[in-house]
C-alpha cells in the first residue's frame, strides 16, 4: 500500500497555525500508518478542529510540514488532497444542506453505487428512507451519519474525521465503530478527533492529547489509562 | 384580444425575459464567488459593440456571437485572475475594483468609438401577426430565445452534475473542496460564463438599443434592483425579481413615460431595501 515501504502513511510535524495572525495550534506533530487509528483527544477549544483544518488545507500553515505517502502536501488545495486519498469529514456543517441525501452521496459520482452504499444503508436505514429529502431537514446526528457514510464509502487511504459521533445515538455510534474497525482491517489509516472517550478507545491504536493548542501527551492507546485521559478531557 | 393590450403584454414579457438573461449571469457569479461584479453591464455593452463591429465589416450578424463570447470570455478570464481572485472574501474591495473596471471599460470603448450613439441594423426585419397585433419579428424572436436560454440554464443548473456542484459550493465552500470539487477552477469558469452570458445579451439586444459606451449602466442598475427585490437566494427569486422590475417598468413606461417607469422602479427598490432587505426569496 505504501510503495512497499512500511512506515507512516501520513505524518505532520511542527504544525503551527490559526486564523489570520492568531496562532491556535503550536508545533503539533503526529503520524498514522495504514491499518491504524490515531485519536486526537482534548477539551473543547484546545485547537483540535483547527489542527484538522490545517492538515486538510483549509487553513494555511504558519510553519511545519504535512506529508502523505512520502509527498509534501505544502500549499495543495483541499480538492488536490482529496484526489490523493485524503478524505475529510468536518465537525461543523458536515453535509450540503441544500442538496438531497442522494445528491450528497452522488455529488462526485454519476449514480448511486448500490454495492458501495448497501452495507451503510443496512446499518443506517434512516438514510435510505430520506434519499430525496434535502440534507438540511435531517437532525444534527443524522447529518453526521450522512457525512460519515459519504467519507467512509470513498476509496481514499486516509480518513480524517472530526467528532463523527457528536449528536449520534449510542447504537449508531457502535455501528460507526464497526465500520471503522473494518476500514482499519482493510488497511486504511484513520485520524479521528473525538470527545466520546469510550468510542475513541474502542478504535484507537494511538492517542494524541491536546491542550492549549499543543500536544501534551502522545503514545500507544494501550499504554494510556482511562483515568489519565479522562483527566485531560474534563475541566 | 385588444391589439394594444397584446402589444403591451408582449413588451412586458420581452422586458422581463431579456432582463432575466442579464441578471442570471450576475446572480450565478454572486452566488458562487460572493462577488457583485459591477462591470457586468459593461460586458453587455462590449457585446453590443461586437455586433456593431461585425456589421461594419459587412459580416453576417450571427458572426457577432462567437466574437463577443471570445472577447468577453478572454476579458473575464483576465479579470477573474487579476482582480477578483486576489480580492476574494473582501466584498467591499471587490465592489470598488469592479466599479473601477467598469469605468475603465467604458473609457476604453469611448476612446475607440467615441461617445456617439451607434445603431445596429435589425437582422430580422418586418413584423408578425400575434393575435391580431403587429409585433416586430426580431423582438419576438429575442423574447423566445431569452425565455429558452433562461429555461435551459435553470434546467441545467438543477439537473446537471456541474450545476449540482455549483450549488454545493454556494452552500458550503469548505466541504466542497474536501469532497474533491476544484473550487478555484469552478469559480473561474463560472465568472467567465457570467461574462459570456452578458456578452450574448449585448449582441442580441444591440439592434434594439442605442449602442453607446454608457449602456451598461442602465443594465447594472436594473439588475441590482432585480436582486434587491427578488433576493439572492434562488432562481425563483431572480425570475420573480426580474418580473417585478421589468414588468413594472415596462407597464408604467407604456402608460406614462420612461421617466415615470424608472422612478417607480427606483421607489420599489428603496422600499424593498427599507422594509424587506432580503427580498422576496431570502437566502437561507
A231 or A22, higher pLDDT: A22
Check: pTM over 0.80? Answer yes or no.
Answer: yes
- Is the pLDDT at A108 greater than 90? The verdict is no
Percentage of the residues of chain B whose pLDDT score is greater than 70: 99
Distance from CA of B193 to the nearest CA of A (A): 21
Q: Please give the residue range of the domain that contains residue A91.
A: 10-96+138-233
Q: Which residues of A touch B183 (CB under 8 A)?
A: 77-79
* Gap between the Cα atoms of A124 and A95, Å rounded: 16
More reliable by pLDDT, B28 or B188: B188
Q: In angstroms, what separates the C-alpha of A39 from chain B's closest C-alpha?
A: 20
Give the gap in angstroms from C-alpha A152 to the nearest C-alpha of chain B: 12
Confidence of residue A230 (pLDDT cuts 50, 70, 90): confident
A215 and A12 Cβ atoms separated by less than 8 Å: no
Per-residue pLDDT, A112: 62
d(CA A35, CA A14): 24
- Asked whether residue A1 is assigned to any structural domain, the reply reads no
For residue range A142-179, what is the model confidence (pLDDT) as tens digits? 999 999 999 999 989 999 999 999 999 999 999 999 99
pLDDT at A234 over 80: no
Interface contact flag, A110 B183, Cβ < 8 Å: no
> Is it the case that residue A85 has pLDDT exceeding 50?
yes
Contacts of B89 in chain A (CB under 8 A): none
Q: Which of A77, A103, A150 sits opposite B184 (nearest CB)?
A: A77
Question: Do the chains contact at A93 and B168, CB–CB below 8 Å?
Answer: no
Contact assignment for B165 to A150 by CB distance below 8 Å? no
* pLDDT of B148: 96
Spatial distance between the Cα atoms of B149 and B146, rounded to a whole number of angstroms: 5
Give how far B213 is from chain A: nearest CA, Å. 40
Q: Please state the φ and ψ torsions of residue B23, each to the nearest 5 degrees.
A: -70, -35
Among the partner-chain residues A57, A90, A107, the one whose CB lies closest to the CB of B168 is A107
Q: Taking CB atoms and an 8 Å cutoff, what residues of chain B touch A83?
A: 180
* Three-class SS state of A77: coil
Q: Considering the domain boundaries, does residue A126 fall inside one?
A: no
pLDDT tens for each residue of A112-138: 666 789 999 999 999 999 999 999 999
In chain A, % helix, strand, coil (3-state, to 5) comes to 35, 25, 35
Which residues on adjacent β-strands are paired with residue B133?
B130
Mean pLDDT of B116-120: 93
Domain ranges in chain B are: 3-216
Pick the residue of B176, B177, B234 with the most A CBs within 10 A to test the interface with A by mutation. Answer: B177
Q: What is the pLDDT of residue A5?
A: 52
State the best of A79, A148, A155 to mutate against chain B, taking most chain B CBs within 10 Å: A79
- Looking at the domain assignment, is residue A2 inside a domain? no
Per the CB < 8 Å rule, is A99 touching B180? no
Q: What is the pLDDT of residue B282?
A: 78
Q: Of the ranges A6-10, A174-178, B133-137, which one carries the lowest mean pLDDT score?
A: A6-10
pLDDT of residue A1 exceeding 60, the answer is no
B50 within 8 A of B203, measured Cβ to Cβ = yes
Chain B residues inside the 8 Å CB shell of A84? none
Which phi and psi (to 5°) does residue B8 adopt? -65, -40
pLDDT tens digit sequence for B14-53: 989 999 999 998 988 888 888 889 999 999 999 999 999 9
Q: Does residue B284 register a pLDDT over 70?
A: no
CB atoms closer than 10 angstroms to residue B208: 16
Mean pLDDT for the stretch of residues A173-200: 96
Residue of A57, A77, A107 lying closest to B179 (CB–CB): A107
- Tell me which residue of B201, B211, B209 sits closest to B68, measured CA to CA: B201
Contact B206, B47 (CB under 8 A): yes
CA angle B198, B199, B205 (to 5 degrees): 90
Q: Kindly list the residues of chain B whose beta carbon comes within 8 Å of any beta carbon in chain A.
A: 161, 164-165, 167-168, 170-172, 174-184, 284
Does B89 or B207 have the greater pLDDT score? B207
- The answer to whether residues B248 and B264 touch, using CB atoms and an 8 Å cutoff, is yes
Q: What per-residue confidence (pLDDT) applies to B217?
A: 92
- Indicate if the pLDDT at residue A24 is higher than 80: yes
| Binary contact (A88, B172; C-beta < 8 A) | no
Q: Which residues, listed in sequence order, are joined to residue B211 by a DSSP beta bridge?
A: B118
Residue A92 sits in a domain of what CATH number? 3.40.50.300
Confidence of residue A48 (pLDDT cuts 50, 70, 90): very high
Grid cell for residue A142: 443524522
Please state the three-class secondary structure of chain B as a single string. CCHHHHHHHHHHHHHHHHHHHHHHHHHHHHHHHCCCCCCHHHHHHHHHHHHHHHHHCCCCHHHHHHHHHHHHHHHHHHHHHHHHCCCCCCHHHHHHHHHHHHHHHHHHHHHHHCCCCECCCCCCCCEEEECCEEEEHHHHHHHHHHHHHHHHHHHHHHHCHHHHHHHHHHHCHHHHHHCCCCHHHHHHHHHHHHHHHHHHHHHHHHHHCCECCCHHHHHHHHHHHHHHHHCCCCHHHHHHHHHHHHHHHHHHHHHCCHHHHHHHHHHHHHHHHHHCCCCCCCCC
Q: Which among A88, A98, A103 has CB closest to B178?
A: A88
Give the pLDDT band of residue A235 (cuts 50, 70, 90): low
Q: What pairing do the DSSP bridges indicate for beta strands A158-162 and A214-220? A: unpaired
Quick count: other Cβ atoms within 10 Å of Cβ B121?
11
H helices of chain A, in order, are 48-55, 78-84, 101-106, 114-123, 125-129, 140-153, 170-185, 197-203, 226-233
Q: Does A123 reside within a domain?
A: no
Q: What is the pLDDT of residue A3?
A: 44
Structural domain contains residue A34: yes
Residue A54 lies in a domain: yes
What is the signed CA dihedral for B34, B227, B72, B166, rounded to 10 degrees?
Answer: 50
Strands in A214-220's sheet, in edge-to-edge order, are A86-89, A158-162, A189-193, A37-41, A206-211, A214-220
Assess whether pLDDT exceeds 70 at residue B159: yes
Instruction: Determine, yes or no, domain membership for A124.
Output: no
What average pLDDT score do residues A30-41 get?
A: 96
| pLDDT score of B216 more than 60 | yes
Quote the mean pLDDT of chain B. 91
Amino acid at each position: 500500500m505504501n510503495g512497499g515501504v512500511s512506515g507512516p502513511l501520513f505524518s505532520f510535524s511542527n504544525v503551527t497555525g490559526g486564523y489570520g495572525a492568531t496562532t491556535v495550534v503550536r508545533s503539533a506533530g503526529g503520524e498514522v500508518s495504514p491499518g491504524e487509528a490515531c485519536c486526537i483527544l482534548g477539551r473543547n477549544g484546545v485547537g483540535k478542529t483547527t489542527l484538522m483544518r490545517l492538515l486538510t488545507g483549509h487553513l494555511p500553515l504558519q510553519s511545519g510540514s504535512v506529508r502523505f505517502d512520502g509527498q509534501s502536501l505544502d500549499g495543495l488545495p483541499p480538492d488536490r488532497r482529496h484526489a490523493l486519498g485524503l478524505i475529510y469529514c468536518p465537525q461543523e456543517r458536515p453535509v450540503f444542506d441544500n442538496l438531497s441525501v442522494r445528491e450528497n452521496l452522488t455529488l462526485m459520482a454519476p449514480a448511486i453505487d448500490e454495492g458501495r452504499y448497501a452495507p451503510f444503508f443496512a446499518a443506517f436505514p434512516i438514510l435510505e428512507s430520506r434519499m430525496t429529502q434535502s440534507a438540511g431537514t435531517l437532525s444534527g446526528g443524522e447529518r453526521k451519519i450522512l457525512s460519515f457514510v459519504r467519507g467512509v464509502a470513498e476509496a481514499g487511504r486516509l480518513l480524517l474525521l472530526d467528532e463523527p459521533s457528536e449528536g449520534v445515538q449510542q447504537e449508531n455510534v457502535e455501528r460507526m465503530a464497526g465500520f471503522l474497525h473494518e476500514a482499519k482491517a482493510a488497511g486504511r489509516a484513520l485520524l479521528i478527533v473525538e470527545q466520546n472517550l469510550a468510542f475513541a478507545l474502542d478504535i484507537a491504536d494511538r492517542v494524541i492529547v491536546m491542550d492549549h493548542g499543543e500536544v501534551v501527551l502522545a503514545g500507544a492507546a494501550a499504554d494510556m489509562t482511562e483515568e489519565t485521559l479522562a483527566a485531560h478531557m474534563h475541566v | 384580444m385588444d391589439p394594444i393590450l397584446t402589444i403591451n403584454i408582449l413588451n412586458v414579457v420581452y422586458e422581463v425575459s431579456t432582463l432575466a438573461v442579464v441578471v442570471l449571469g450576475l446572480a450565478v457569479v454572486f452566488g458562487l464567488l460572493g462577488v457583485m461584479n459591477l462591470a457586468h453591464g459593461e460586458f453587455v455593452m462590449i457585446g453590443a459593440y461586437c455586433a456593431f463591429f461585425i456589421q461594419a465589416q459587412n459580416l453576417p450578424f450571427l458572426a457577432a456571437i462567437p466574437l463577443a463570447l471570445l472577447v468577453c470570455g478572454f476579458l473575464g478570464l483576465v479579470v477573474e485572475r487579476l482582480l477578483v481572485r486576489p480580492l476574494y472574501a473582501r466584498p467591499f474591495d471587490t465592489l470598488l475594483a469592479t466599479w473601477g473596471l467598469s469605468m475603465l471599460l467604458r473609457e476604453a470603448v469611448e476612446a475607440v468609438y467615441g461617445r456617439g450613439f451607434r445603431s445596429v441594423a435589425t437582422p430580422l426585419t418586418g413584423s408578425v401577426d400575434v393575435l391580431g397585433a403587429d409585433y416586430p419579428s426580431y423582438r419576438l424572436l429575442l423574447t423566445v430565445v431569452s425565455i429558452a436560454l433562461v429555461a435551459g440554464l435553470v434546467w441545467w443548473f438543477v439537473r446537471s452534475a456541474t450545476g449540482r456542484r455549483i450549488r454545493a459550493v454556494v452552500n458550503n465552500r469548505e466541504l466542497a473542496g474536501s469532497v474533491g470539487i476544484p473550487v478555484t477552477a469552478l469559480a473561474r469558469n463560472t465568472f467567465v460564463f457570467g461574462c459570456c452570458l452578458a456578452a450574448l445579451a449585448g449582441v442580441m439586444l444591440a439592434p434594439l438599443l442605442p449602442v453607446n459606451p454608457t449602456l451598461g449602466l442602465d443594465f447594472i442598475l436594473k439588475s441590482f434592483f432585480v436582486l434587491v427585490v427578488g433576493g439572492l437566494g434562488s432562481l425563483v427569486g431572480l425570475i420573480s425579481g426580474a418580473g417585478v422590475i421589468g414588468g413594472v417598468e415596462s407597464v408604467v413606461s407604456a402608460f406614462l413615460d420612461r421617466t415615470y417607469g424608472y422612478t417607480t422602479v427606483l421607489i420599489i427598490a428603496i422600499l424593498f431595501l427599507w422594509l424587506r432587505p432580503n427580498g422576496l426569496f431570502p437566502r437561507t
